[in-house]
Amino acid sequence: MSWLTVAKKDFKGARRSKSLWAAAVLLGLVAVVLAYGNQAFRQTEVEAVQGLFRTLTQILAVLLPIIALTATYMAIAGEREGGGIKFLLSLPNTRRDVFTGKLLSRLAIVASGVVFMYIAASSVSLTKHGVFPLGVIAGTLLLTILYGSVFVSIAVAVSAAAASRSRAIANALASYFVLVILYVFPDIQVKTVVQGIHTSLLGMESNPDLYNAVQYTSPFLAYQKAINLVVPNRLEQQLFRDSATNLDGDEPMWATDVDLNLPVYLTDEFSLVILAFWLVVPLLVGFWAFKRTDLE
């Protein structure tokens, strides 16, 4: 299995990266600080720990993509720029082997970092609170690994299509900006732009569901909605409270007793479809570009 050989070699090489170790230490410190400072104020110990891991996912929603992109964007582009790609392909390796091996290696690296962070947070919280809500911890862990894998997929595709380090960096940063930053700050809303085009330029009637659907294409929002599937109702985050079936914008972002009657494409369950799309499609496009690229 040539792809396995490539994956093992790449994983061993990546383990020596100081930047990856720094990222792992950063994740661990964030987890420890959050877990140590977590207090069971007017709630049970179980509720306190569940809230801790909900908070952890909110931080990882912003932090994990940049770590995954940084850990992966040079996986193939670095080999091309340094000439190592010719050596890899001179062995009994095909381009598919190289692409698959690099992907699996970087997936393992990012997943290891997430697991390390969860072990740190779980150890401190268990020592402090004496409880271990397995459902929430395991559920958020699996979804977080899936979320990190999405950005590894995107980064491998970017790396496979880039001929140089500078282009790979630029494409990785652009991916982070378009898929995460545009959805973090309330003053920068993709759906606001779409609404302006839809109503002002095209002169059509306002359709909040349409604007939310466009907004929902981001893996950043899909991850937050997916977390709702594994946390208690009191910790669910309602991101689309201004649906066409619920135009009253006075509902809080954190709602526990509000039925928004959302269309299926805005539900929490649909988030898994969106994450699956971002996991698979970039790989197909990236491999197609890699196969067609002249590596001479």
Q: Which amino acid makes up residue 155?
A: A
8 A C-beta contact, residue 259 and residue 276: no
- The Cα 197–Cα 194 span in angstroms is 5
Instruction: Place 259 in a pLDDT band, splitting at 50, 70 and 90.
Output: very low
36 contacts: CB under 8 Å, gap ≥ 6? 124, 128
Instruction: Place 106 in a pLDDT band, splitting at 50, 70 and 90.
Output: very high
Phi/psi for 49 (5° steps) reads -70, -40
Mean pLDDT of the chain: 85
Share of the chain above pLDDT 70, in %: 91
Question: Helix, strand or coil for residue 262?
Answer: coil
pLDDT of residue 218: 92
Global pTM? 0.89
| 130 torsion bin: left (phi>0), alpha (psi -120 to 50), beta (else) | left
The first and second tokens of residue 223, run together, are 């991850």
CA 278 to the chain's CA centroid: 9
* pLDDT of 257 over the 60 cut: no
Residue with tokens 């004496």: 130
Instruction: Place 248 in a pLDDT band, splitting at 50, 70 and 90.
Output: very low
Give tens-digit pLDDT for 158-202: 999 887 888 999 999 999 999 999 888 766 677 777 777 878 777
- The Cα 94–Cα 88 span in angstroms is 9
Give tens-digit pLDDT for 52-102: 999 999 999 999 999 999 999 988 988 887 777 877 877 788 889 999 999
Give tens-digit pLDDT for 2-57: 888 888 888 888 777 777 888 888 888 989 998 888 887 788 999 999 999 999 99
Concatenating the DSSP letter of every residue in 195-232 gives HIIIIIIS-PPP-HHHHHHHHTTSHHHHHHHHHTTTS-
- Cα angle at 159 between 155 and 164, to 5 degrees? 140
CA distances to 116, 210, 268, 290 from 18, in Å: 17, 45, 38, 28
Q: Of 190, 189, 182, 157, which Cα lies nearest the Cα of 172?
A: 157
Q: Of 244, 248, 240, 234, which Cα lies nearest the Cα of 267?
A: 240
CA distances to 53, 55, 170, 289, 290 from 282, in Å: 29, 29, 17, 10, 12
pLDDT of residue 256: 40
The first and second tokens of residue 122, run together, are 């779980």
